[in-house]
Chain A
Amino acid sequence: MTTLDDLMKLPGAMAAFEFRGSGEVLEQRIAYPDRINESTLDLLAHMCAANLSIATMQARGWEKVTGMEGFYPIQEFTLIGFDWSVVVSGLQREHYKQAGKFSLPPFMGVVLANESADYEAAFGILERKEPVP
């Protein structure tokens, strides 16, 4: 069972996907293709890659400017839309970096219907520490 399959078990899960830092989708699961199709998911993944990068820069700058800690590294970025939200994370990559690996796993994301979205449950799956090979 992959992390994508686990994400699709979340309440209201509409899609789950893996993507590169440059935004290309590598793997996907889509539950409601009439709402979220491959084309939508491709643009969404590019948006999420950009948002994670900007948020990472802001967290880094914020910690330096204020002296506060606990913002960096970003664990997840969540965009709350009108009907659904998308939660994305690159935290697994941090685990690989800490293990001294240069080849990093992809970013991951899940689209959740707002009515039943459990953001904390999504964070829990995305923050799960997978063994580093």
Chain B
Amino acid sequence: MSIVTDLLAKPGVIAAGEYAYRGDRFSHRGALSEDHARVASIMCRATTMSVNMEASMLEALQPLSGLLPPRGWLVHGPGYTVCVVANVFCLLDNSKGSINDLVGFMRQALPAVPADMI
């Protein structure tokens, strides 16, 4: 099974997808239209690129600070949480799933990305 299929089987996950770091393709499953999944993948990729830039800057200030390479990020809203680890994203219904469990699963399933991929 793919990571996206695994994620969709988790409680509360309503949609999940992957994007290419170079930005030329994406795939998704779940409760998003093709257009909305495209918007989601673009926003997720942009934020992933941004946090990688930030981590590199912090690393230059304090080597081995523990931030680099960043594994992912979360945006927690009142109803939904966007969870991103590596180049995989998913949308979680807060009332139906556990963020701790989801992050733990994604961190374990997705290895740290080599810096030359970004």
Query: Assuming the A-B contacts A43-B61, A80-B107, A82-B66, are A73 and B50 also in contact, with contact meaning beta carbons closer than 8 angstroms in the complex?
Result: no
Contact B39 A76 (CB under 8 A): no
Contact B76 A74 (CB under 8 A): yes
Write the nearest CB–CB distance from A27 to chain B, whole angstroms: 21
Q: Which residue from B43, B65, B112 sits with its C-beta under 8 Å from A58?
A: B43
Distance, CA A79 to CA B72, complexed state (A): 6
Nearest to A72 among chain B residues (CB) is B77
Contact B51 A79 (CB under 8 A): yes
Contact B71 A82 (CB under 8 A): yes
Instruction: Name the prevailing secondary structure of the A interface residues.
Output: mixed
Interface size class of A (residues with CB under 8 A): 35 or more
Instruction: Name the prevailing secondary structure of the B interface residues.
Output: mixed
Contact A119 B73 (CB under 8 A): no
Distance, CA A102 to CA B79, complexed state (A): 26
What per-residue 1/0 map shows which CB atoms of A12-51 lie under 8 Å from chain B? 0000000000000000000000011101100110010011
Q: Which residue from B36, B50, B54 sits with its C-beta under 8 Å from A65?
A: B36
Q: Which residue from A39, A54, A73, A80 sits with its C-beta under 8 Å from B74?
A: A80
Residues of B within 8 A of A78 (CB): 73-76
Residues of A within 8 A of B80 (CB): 68, 70-71
Contact B79 A69 (CB under 8 A): yes
Give the residue among A43, A84, A119 with the most B Cβ atoms within 10 A: A119
Give the residue among A65, A80, A119 with the most B Cβ atoms within 10 A: A80
Q: Is A81 at the interface (CB under 8 A from chain B)?
A: yes
Known: A35-B66, A36-B65, A76-B74. 7 other contacts (CB 8 A): A40-B61, A55-B75, A58-B75, A78-B75, A80-B73, A80-B74, A82-B69
Give B residues with C-beta under 8 Å from A: 36, 39-40, 43, 47, 50-51, 54-55, 57-58, 61-62, 65-80, 82, 85, 94, 98-100, 103, 107, 112
